[in-house]
A = this chain, B = another copy of it.
Amino acid sequence: PPKLSTLQPGLENKDAPSWLEEPIRHVVKSQQFNQEALDHVFKVAREMELVRPGTDESRQLQGAIMSTLFYEPSTRTRLSFESAMARLGGTILTTESAAEFSSAAKGETLEDTIRTVEGYADLVVLRHFQAGSAEKAASAASIPIINAGDGPGQHPTQALLDVYTIQREIGRLDNFRIGLIGDLANGRTVRSLAYVLSMYPGVKMYFVAPDVCRMKDDIKSYLSSVGVDWEEVDDLAQVAADVDVLYQTRIQKERFQDRPDDYEKAKGKYIINAETMKQMKKDAIVLHPLPRVDEIHPEVDSDPRAAYFRQARNGLYVRMALLKLCLENRPLAH
């Protein structure tokens, strides 16, 4: 297993703040978080699980204003951030469809939009259809920007909530086995997850994917270069029996637009059902970033090891933690 000291130079964002002394500046990509930073975020997320309505803790962001600026719809992610802000007493300015943002249509740059919106809010949660948008916005902004997904680029809060869920469910982030299933070629989620988990020692990864959706070479080379033990396997049953975490993903139809046959073949290949659950260990868990279509049979939902709705819920706590860390010790802009 890779040593942390070997890993850090490649993973760490050189410009990242010293986590224990300063608030987070922006949340732009999962690589900005080193192990120490993740530990700190997760510690705060645990505290967030205990925040109850009516208490002082539930008012700790009172007076702060968050603008959710979504250039493409993602109701799930937007509601999760808005709920997180609400539970800490902050105020929400919501924008469901900024793609029709008249200014953007008129040719305004994202930087100009951000410079305007920062006059109205203390923090922006940005969802955009173009990779790199969050970084561009952050470079222009005097207030924190949280990336809620920028097209084929990054979706760092998803990666963080995935890792947080593993820690919460199996009690550790090192020395465990995980199977990543489904569309490993195109899935932003699994790529980020593999990347983040490579920071922890003793993580064995199995990749189980239809031929057309195999994990790409860049990640595989990277994992090898940092000493992560990974393996491509065809047999889901064998992997199910061996792992602590089975991470299923959806085969995305929109990736196969000109190859409907490939889609149908790929889609049906690896389904998690009651049979799969029988093969799994008693204390292993099934995760999924959701939405789920057919790749996990509903009969699995009632199994206590089906952790995907708890995983969605954990997104709330991780986002509460990030909002707190971005806004605390920071003068509000008004």
Contacts and interface: CB of A to CB of B under 8 A. Distances in A.
Interface of A: 51-54, 58, 62-65, 67, 69, 72-76, 79-80, 82-83, 86-87, 91-98, 100-103, 106-108, 112-113, 115-117, 119-121, 250, 252-253, 290-293, 309, 312-313, 315-316, 332, 334
Given A116-B309, A119-B309, A119-B312, 4 more contacts: A73-B100, A96-B96, A97-B100, A113-B291
B107 A291 contact: yes
Nearest to A101: B75
Q: What is the oligomeric copy number?
A: 3
Given A63-B58, A107-B291, A309 B115 contact: yes
Contacts of A93: 79, 82-83, 86, 92
Contact of A119 (B106, B113, B253, B316): B316
A309 B62 CA distance: 26
Given A79-B121, A93-B82, A121-B83, A112 B52 contact: no
Contacts of A69: 75
Nearest to A63: B53
Q: Is the interface of A mostly helix, strand, loop or mixed?
A: mixed
A106 B76 CA distance: 13
B73 A102 contact: yes
A63 B73 contact: no
Sorted from nearest, which 6 A-B pairs have the closest CB atoms? A53-B63, A108-B291, A83-B120, A119-B313, A103-B291, A107-B293
Contacts of A65: 83, 86-87
B54 A63 contact: yes
A69 to B, nearest CB: 8
Contact of A116 (B51, B92, B290): B290
A147 B53 CA distance: 26
B75 A64 contact: no
Nearest to A72: B102
13 contacts: A53-B334, A75-B98, A76-B103, A79-B95, A80-B120, A106-B250, A106-B291, A107-B253, A108-B292, A116-B290, A116-B309, A116-B312, A119-B316
B63 A112 contact: no
